[in-house]
Chains A and B, each alone.
Chain A
Amino acid sequence: MMRLPVSALIGLCLTTAYFAAALLAPLIAPFGVAEIVGQSWEPASAQFWLGTDSIGRDLLSRMIWGGRTTIFVAAAATALSFGLGSVLGFFAAVRGGWVDQVLSRLVDLLMSIPSLISALVVLSVVPVTIPVLILVMGILDSTRVFRLARAVAVDIAVMDYVEAVRLRGEKQGWIIFREILPNALSPLVAEMGLRFIFAVLFISTLSFLGLGVQPPMADWGGIVKENKEGIVYGIPAALVPALAIATLAISVNLVADWVLDRTTSLKGGRNAR
């Protein structure tokens, strides 16, 4: 039986709680996402556990629905960036030559402009909808996955067992999905946690700037934006979603650290238990 360190346990519990709340939002949210139920910025009470927001909607319900949006968008963008980045990265490593050169230089170019700036440039001409946001974030972030996947795959591609498969005459698809993918999985999985956090911060930042999820839909960055005026009057409603983002980020980090520790120690001879 492996021992779970306390930090990883806390991280795992919190992460699970956030994901469960996101999945079960229709069941557990006390009110609807855009339902106006009270005065603006009512303090916390038995009826409204976290009080109400700037136009009198229940903040707890907004937080739960908002978490659903934020986590869904971030998860979808992460999935896209991993699908795209890892397949292209493996492909570049296996093919080598000009394919590798073209893909790698293209990624260098995309990374030479900060992701937030690239996203803002693109969002100035396309309509801001959820699928567009997922696509933009996924593609921009796939550059980082590409670099990792390529670096890992280059090491694997020179192994004897890959050479053996090549000599057997297998196609590139087989080499990528049957030989490289299973061996590159553990560093990629650890990275996935970090990319997910990055996506959460990214979508929250965009929504906070008013260029992400559009109202009346809720998401955490947007809730900060809606309630920021309250701060000056000492109403902490805007700090609640910001706190949720921070705790989610820290919890996923703790879990990813643990996964990374574990998989690397497994590689080093299964002596870490």
Chain B
Amino acid sequence: MTLHPVARLAAQRIALGLLLLFAASVLIFLGTQILPGDVAQAILGRSATQQSLATLREQLGLNEPALTRYFSWLAGVLHGDLGIALSNGQPIAPALAKRLGNTLFLAGAAAVIAVPLAILLGLISVRYLNRWPDRLISAVTLATISVPEFLLGYIVIFFLAVQYQFLPSLSTVYDGMSFGARLHAIGLPVIVLVLAVLGHMMRMTRAAILNVMQSAYVETAELKGLRPFAIIAKHALPNAVAPVVNVVMLNLAYLVVGVVVVEVVFVYPGMGQYLVDHVAKRDVPVVQACGLVFAAVYIGLNLVADIVSILANPRLRHPR
């Protein structure tokens, strides 16, 4: 029995993604383990005693060969055991799961606003190509692209939290908080994340639709006398879905990284802050676990982008 070509291509991509994730886990492990010098020494600093060094080496399993350590780490990860944090001796998985939830909530809220907004702005830009709405949108998005996230963060804090006090400048969330209160708390970081990804998303959407607008069927639609917005929304947009979805996914992947900085700015208890804190504490097991989760989300989103563009291709969906 032969598989449907779409299923076969998708299966190939998934296999490739898993392979990539496996390779990424090797890379993350290598990055923290086989660097020049003694990891235990690097963690504890020069003033460490012989005994504390020996204890830490024991804890990290540094006396075992690297290959053994890698596979026991990987086996643990596959069973949901991410190891023990050096800094507080607690298991990493539960702490990380809670923070991952917070991060996904923040990134999800940003995505829910940014994606439709970017596509709408892209459509408006194409409708009023080279006229003032297009130019205005272009100029504003160029400015937001050129500005680092933490600057955007402090600008919105300076104006929206300090000068006018619309929203809190620190995004404190805790257990048992109501959904509305949570949304209010993350208002500012969501604004920053939306601004950070909106520019790229909108520009690439605009480019993708413009590309389709040059095809013959759009000209036919124009000659039939359809209204410009109907042409764009009904004829151009469906054919631009594949590139647009690709753009959206790539920017969501970017959102995952942008979240690291934004969480630190707003002291939001998510994955990014967890990672940064533990890099400073040189807590290697936590850093490895966070690195792996970030890599998995990133690779996963890229994989979804690939599969959606396969699904959106009618030539593959209806094979002859």
Contacts and interface: CB of A to CB of B under 8 A. Distances in A.
A201 B148 contact: yes
Scoring B32, B39, B151, B282 by chain A CB atoms within 10 A of each residue's CB, the highest score goes to B151
Interface string A232-258: 111010110011011001100100000
Contacts of B32: 121-122, 124-125
Interface stretch (A37-45, A78-86, A206-214, A261-269): A206-214
Given A110-B27, A245-B151, A117 B20 contact: no
Contacts of A121: 28, 31-32, 279, 287-288, 291
B261 to A, nearest CB: 6
B177 interface: no
Given A118-B31, A124-B283, A125-B39, A113 B24 contact: yes
A125 B30 CA distance: 11
B272 to A, nearest CB: 9
Contacts of A232: 157, 161-162, 169
B298 interface: yes
A231 interface: yes
A21 B163 CA distance: 33
Nearest to A246: B147
Contacts of B155: 239, 242
Scoring A205, A238, A250 by chain B CB atoms within 10 A of each residue's CB, the highest score goes to A205
Interface residues of A, number: 41
Contacts, number: 139
B146 A250 contact: yes
Interface residues of B, number: 51
Contacts of A216: none
Interface SS of chain A: helix
Contact of A243 (B20, B23, B151, B302): B151
A131 interface: no
A117 B148 contact: no
B248 interface: no
Interface string B132-151: 00000000000100111111
Nearest to A105: B23
Interface string A101-136: 000000011101110111011111111000000000
A61 interface: no
Contacts of B275: 117, 120
Given A121-B31, A122-B35, A239-B155, A113 B280 contact: no
B280 A224 contact: no
Interface string B247-261: 000000100110011
A117 B151 contact: no
Interface in B11-39: 20, 23-24, 27-28, 31-32, 35, 37, 39
A15 interface: no
Given A124-B282, A232-B169, A239-B151, A114 B298 contact: yes
A249 to B, nearest CB: 5
11 contacts: A110-B27, A112-B24, A118-B291, A120-B287, A124-B283, A204-B148, A205-B148, A209-B279, A211-B279, A232-B157, A242-B154
Given A224-B151, A243-B151, 17 more contacts: A109-B23, A112-B20, A113-B295, A114-B298, A118-B27, A118-B291, A121-B28, A121-B291, A124-B32, A125-B31, A125-B35, A125-B282, A209-B261, A209-B264, A231-B162, A242-B154, A246-B147
Interface of A: 108-110, 112-114, 116-118, 120-127, 201, 204-205, 208-211, 221, 224, 228, 231-234, 236, 238-239, 242-243, 245-246, 249-250, 253
